[in-house]
Amino acid sequence: MRFLLLLCAASALSQGVTRLPLERGRKLRDALREKGLLQAFLQQHRYDVGTKFPHAFPNRTEVATEPLLNTLDMEYYGIISIGTPPQDFTVVFDTGSSNLWVPSVFCTSLACQNHQTFNPSQSSTYKSTGRNLSIFYGTGNMEGIVGSDTVTVASLVDTDQLFGLSTTELGQFFVYVTFDGVLGLGYPNLAADGITLVFDKMVNESLLEENLFSVYLSRETTGSVVIFEGIDESYFTGSINWVSISHQGYWQISMDSIIVNCQEITCIGGCQAVIDTGTSLVAGPPSSIGGIQSAVGARQDVHGEYNVNCSSISAMPDVIFVINGVQYPVPASAYTEQNDLGPCRSNFQDTAGDLWILGDVFIRVYYSIFDRANNRVGLAKAI
């Protein structure tokens, strides 16, 4: 998980700083700006692919549905439980990583003090492995130990599942996020320490008959879901377009080009992209993102952010991602962000490296199906 939420993630760059008070519905980066921390934060942290870092919902009998909460269009997370009796945690269901980990009672980092922690001594089914675990992210890193226990996701009960218990969480990013931990849904070769993925183990033990899951993201606080073993036609319109995976690590695909105002702006001749639920924005190489920003009329401010005229959003062009010969328009209403405290903003951002990252901005527009059995991604117009 690259955790490309950085423009909205609060971080204090000075030592020993306390949690920033946030008003309901307020963007986290606005708190940074008021504290004079935003510019330093943006200069220190860059998006880096590869170094990243209960709610009533009727479960259909043939699938397992995990409802997600949406915090400020920045974090989508659901609730899982670990242990016997169960201890509950909020986790990001992240297609850009492959490990499950949560904070533990052994962790003294400030991030762990602000989140739920797992206590092995309170679970009768916990087993220690004696193994250590380190996961490095662009925004910090997690160090801990590996244990096994019963993990419950939606209606699925996964026994003897290996998972990480953080003992140290370095980086202010983890202090301020709403969720406790991460449940990775990428390919196995992304998993640290060769740990079997939660999803793979559920398939191997026939908890899931179909090696597939799908994701619908809403801009509302509730209504978003991860559907294991199923495709729900009520979340999209039209047909599903299938795209083969080009590399089995991230959910990586080949993209043909990116078009604005009927002109190929970038990715001319093709490029690589990943569909990543753990990324809030759409990110790409700096020169390419700069071309898009210019084409849609966004202007950079002193903080490095790109602003747009709020009154002009309805007239701004679509940004069209061409994938496998199919055009996927993303309208300005989807790639811009309204802000009560200042100008509206563009939700495109630079990333280190050549991979494009189609994060939540894209997934909110296109219902996404992750088909491990056939190594492909399905995209359909979300409702």
pLDDT category, 174, cuts 50, 70, 90? confident
Mean pLDDT of the 54-59 span: 33
* pLDDT score at 19: 25
Of 247, 229, 201, 273, the residue nearest 370 (C-alpha): 229
- Say if 49-227 and 232-382 have the same CATH topology: yes
Tell me which of 276, 318, 360, 371 is the catalytic residue: 276
What mean pLDDT is predicted for residues 199-226? Answer: 92
Q: Do 120 and 165 contact (CB within 8 A), yes or no? A: yes
Rounded to an integer, the average pLDDT of 175-183 is 89
pLDDT for 353 equals 84
Residue among 295, 291, 289, 331 nearest 314 (CA): 331
Q: Which runs of consecutive H residues, i.e. helices, occur in 240-313?
A: 286-296
For residues 175-204, give the mean pLDDT. 91
- Model confidence at 316, pLDDT cuts 50, 70, 90, reads very high
The model's confidence at residue 138, banded by pLDDT at 50, 70 and 90, is: low
Mean pLDDT of all residues in 30-48: 44
Question: How distant, in Å, are the alpha carbons of 218, 239, 260, 345, 362 from that of 381?
Answer: 13, 8, 19, 24, 10
Q: Which residues pair with 65 in a beta bridge?
A: 227
The CATH architecture to which 232-382 belongs is Beta Barrel (2.40)
CATH topology for the 49-227 domain: Cathepsin D, subunit A; domain 1 (2.40.70)
Give the separation between CA 148 and CA 218, rounded to whole angstroms: 33
Residue, of 302 and 188, whose pLDDT is higher: 188
Q: Contact, 140 vs 172, CB < 8 A?
A: yes
Three-state secondary-structure class, residue 113: helix
Going by pLDDT thresholds of 50, 70 and 90, the confidence category of residue 9 is very low
Residue ranges of domains in the chain: 49-227, 232-382
- Which residues, in sequence order, are CB contacts of 315 under 8 Å at separation 6+? none
What is the Cα Rg of the chain in Å? 20
Using an 8 Å Cβ cutoff, are 280 and 73 in contact?
yes
In this structure, are residues 78 and 68 in contact, taking their beta carbons and an 8 Å threshold?
A: yes
Q: Given the residues 30, 48, 73, 94, select the one marked as catalytic.
A: 94
| For residues 328-333, average pLDDT | 97
Whether 350 is a known active-site residue: answer no
Residues facing residue 101 across a β-bridge: 164, 182
- How many other CB atoms sit within 10 Å of the CB of residue 232? 14
Q: What is the pLDDT of residue 89?
A: 95
Cβ–Cβ under 8 Å, residues 64 and 228: yes
- To the query of whether residue 276 is one of the catalytic residues in this protein, the response is yes
Q: Average the pLDDT over 350-377 and give the result.
A: 95
- For the chain, give the mean pLDDT: 83
The strand ranges marked E within 185-296 are: 212-216, 224-228, 236-244, 247-248, 251-255, 257-260, 263-266, 271-275, 282-284
Instruction: Report percent pLDDT > 90 for the chain.
Output: 64
Vertex 234: Cα angle to 233 and 240 (nearest 5):
35
| Percent of the chain predicted with pLDDT > 70 | 82
Least confident span in 8-17, 105-114, 158-167, 283-292 = 8-17
Q: 3-class SS at 235?
A: helix
- Please report which confidence band the pLDDT of residue 83 belongs to, taking 50, 70 and 90 as the band edges: very high
- Please tell me the pTM assigned to this model: 0.83
Q: Which two tokens stand for residue 15?
A: 């030592």
Tally of CA atoms within 13 A in the half-sphere of 293 that contains its CB? 24
User: Residue 72 — φ and ψ, nearest 5°?
Assistant: 60, 30
**Over the range 66-85, which residues count as b (16 or more CB within 10 Å of their CB) and which as e?**
bbbbbbbbbbbbbbbbbbee
In 10 A of CB 239, how many CB atoms?
Answer: 11
pLDDT at position 293: 95
Q: pLDDT at position 10, please?
A: 29
Distance CA 357, CA 4 (A): 9
Checking if the pLDDT of 55 tops 50, the result is no
The pLDDT of residue 263: 96
| Stretch 201-219: mean pLDDT | 93
Give me 327's structure tokens.
Answer: 């055009």
d(CA 199, CA 184): 9
Among candidate residues 105, 189, 193, 184, the one with its CA nearest the CA of residue 151: 184
- pLDDT tier for residue 139 given thresholds of 50, 70 and 90: low
Which residues have a Cβ under 8 Å from the Cβ of 317 and sit 6 or more positions away? Answer: 260, 261, 295, 296, 332
Q: What pLDDT was estimated at residue 50? A: 34
